[in-house]
Structure 1
Amino acid sequence: MDGVERNRGEHVLFGYDGTAANDTALRWAVEEARLRGLELVVCHSWHWPYPPGHEDPHGEAVMKRVGENLLEHGALRAAELGAPGTVRTRLMRGPVPEALLKASGRAEMVVIGSHGRVDAGGTAMEVPARARLPVIVVRDGKGRDRVVAGADGTEWCDAALGFAASEAALRHWDLHVVYGCWEPAAVAECELALFNDPDLLEKTRAAELEDRVGPWRDRYPKVDIRVSLLLERPWEALSNAAEDAGLVVLGDRGTGTGPLGSTAAAMLRGTRGTVAIVPAEPA
């Protein structure tokens, strides 16, 4: 843990739904808690689906009791998987994204599972878009022992690079930082001329990338950090590099019109691996 970047949260928060597919994400959450020396909090939300005026106290009590039983099972399963200390549980009421966001106030990070298509409005898209702490979305949990991080050469990617470097250090994995810099629609007008001279563009962006990566090389000297500057669009560059990665890390900011940057949203929709979305925290 010495020297590892931290958000100074008190625990790892995990969204539990009791399904077999959710077990892969639970394993990841347990490992995060163990590696970081934090408690694990297993959270479940139950939701009365009918509109006001159609309440049923007996039915709601049954649903709440089912949620409590499910959480008890989740805590036992987390302990079986090696969760450190006592696994705490938290039962919430309401839509899952709202419940997780409300419960995340003192967390170091949120871990959720995703088994199926990721759509706008779904938990796997809504929570990373609105959380102010890292959110890890776990799919199949497979991939090689390396972290791939997306960068853009600005201070907006610093938080994502710090998180990626700390994950690589904790897991003893390599880190591959990827910068797809062919994005003329996203730059200031004064920089458009760079795209008429690919050599100058590459030289300029390479210097920017090294400025961002250099401090993390110094902080984590034992992590093998490799960088790739590619004259490709960010999504293309990152998706190709991340195809077999154990973890992909990128920031929430970008050029998209929605609450998430376009590259972050595309990675959540298009990759089968585990993706961490880290909120930008510029100086």
Structure 2
Amino acid sequence: MEKVFICVDDNALFQPVCDYGIYVAKTIKAEPVFIHVIESPELGENFYGLAAGGIVLGEKDMVLSQYGTFDEDSNKIDEEKSKAMLEKCVAMADEQGVKASTILRDGDFLDIIEEYKNEAKIFVLGIKGTNNEDVGFNATMLIKEMKVPALLVNKEFSPINSVLVAFDGTEAAVKTVKFIKDAKLLKNAKKYVINVNNNAEESQKTLEVAREILKGENAEFVSVSGDVPGDEIIKYRRANNLDLIATGAFSKGFFKKLILGSVSQDILQNALVPILVLA
């Protein structure tokens, strides 16, 4: 059976991530797997200074020097809280008639998630990090490293009845359009394909590629002019109240700017809907 891995944390997006994860699992008839990683503290920068200065410490000593003595009682409390959180996830799935399983692990989030990437049909996780940064580090690195589709959640749940695809004609964009055509999750959703280009003729030529792929689908193809593709995509999404944005992870367009560009924070704050990122 296909599996949807739902990465949960005790933060403001806990409930939306669970809701979207269960929704995705039900829609594609997959098993929801709620996973939480109790992340181990990383070694501080001053550890390398200690080593360079001739003081060589064992790993445990180094961690102790940075974080103080290990508090086994505190670790047990964290584990109990995490177990209770996962039990709550399973209960929510049960209420919707979905049988779910859980995974609780200690260690590095990405190392642990990588162990399950071959089992995952899709990852669902909150877009914000533990420090409430707009694009969480784990979300960014999961997309870059795992090569598995990811649904980044940033709002309370609502059904996905429409999807906006940022299309620039690149290989990643073509792959994204093919994915939304075949995806069980988006079978009944209306597809909107948008190309941002100040050259209207060139834009229409680019959209012809998407039209051919989505022939026979409930789809609209939109050409808009503008100098900042991300801004135009967000404005169109807002004006038409669309439910989801889909994009390729490494296209030259929207998502690259979302993660790496100087306007990334503004774009993400204004997206207001989940983003489906294809590897």
TM-score by length of 2: 0.75
**Residue in structure 1 matched with residue 90 of structure 2 by the alignment:** 75
Number of the residue aligned with 2:275: 275
The answer to whether the 8 A contact 2:128-2:134 is kept is no
Distance 1:82 1:205, change over 3 A: same
Q: Which amino acid aligns with 2:140?
A: M
Q: Deviation per CA, 1:39-65, whole angstroms, max 9, x where unpaired?
A: 110001112437533344454344334
CA 103–238 in structure 1, closer or farther in 2 if over 3 Å, else same: same
Letter in 1 for 2:243: G
> Whose radius of gyration is greater, 1 or 2?
2
SS at match of 1:254: coil
- Deviation of 1:121 after TM superposition, in Å, equals 5.2
* Distance across 1 between alignment mates of 2:76 and 2:118: 27
Q: Look up the equivalent residue of 2:79 and give its one-letter code.
A: K
CA-based RMSD of the aligned residues comes to 2.9
Residue 239 in 1 paired to residue 234 in 2? Answer: yes
Percent sequence identity over matched residues? Answer: 17
1:111 has 2:108 as partner: no
- TM (normalized to structure 1)? 0.74
Gaps of 5+ in 1: 1-8, 183-197
Q: Which residue of structure 2 aligns with residue 60 of structure 1?
A: 75
Task: Tell me if the contact between 1:178 and 1:228 (Cα under 8 Å) persists in the aligned partners.
Answer: yes
Q: Does 1:10 align with 2:2?
A: yes
1:36 aligns with 2:28: yes
Tell whether the 8 Å contact from 1:154 to 1:212 is kept in structure 2 after alignment. no
The 3-state SS of whatever aligns with 2:234 is: helix
Question: Is 1:138 aligned with 2:136?
Answer: no
Count of paired positions: 244
Distance 2:173 2:95 in 1: 36
Instruction: Quote how far apart the aligned CAs of 1:137 are.
Output: 0.9
Which of 256, 260, 277 in structure 2 is aligned with 1:261? 256
- Residue 91 in structure 1 maps to residue 104 in structure 2: yes
Distance (whole Å) between structure 1 residues aligned to residue 205 and residue 97 of structure 2: 43
- 1:169–1:77 Cα change, 3 Å: closer
2:27 is matched by which residue type in structure 1? Answer: L
Give me the whole-angstrom Cα distance separating, in 1, the residues matched to 2:38 and 2:184.
Answer: 35
Contact 1:246 1:273 in 2 (8 A): yes
Q: Deviations over 1:68-109 (max 9, x none)?
A: 2322222112222342xx311111223445543443331000
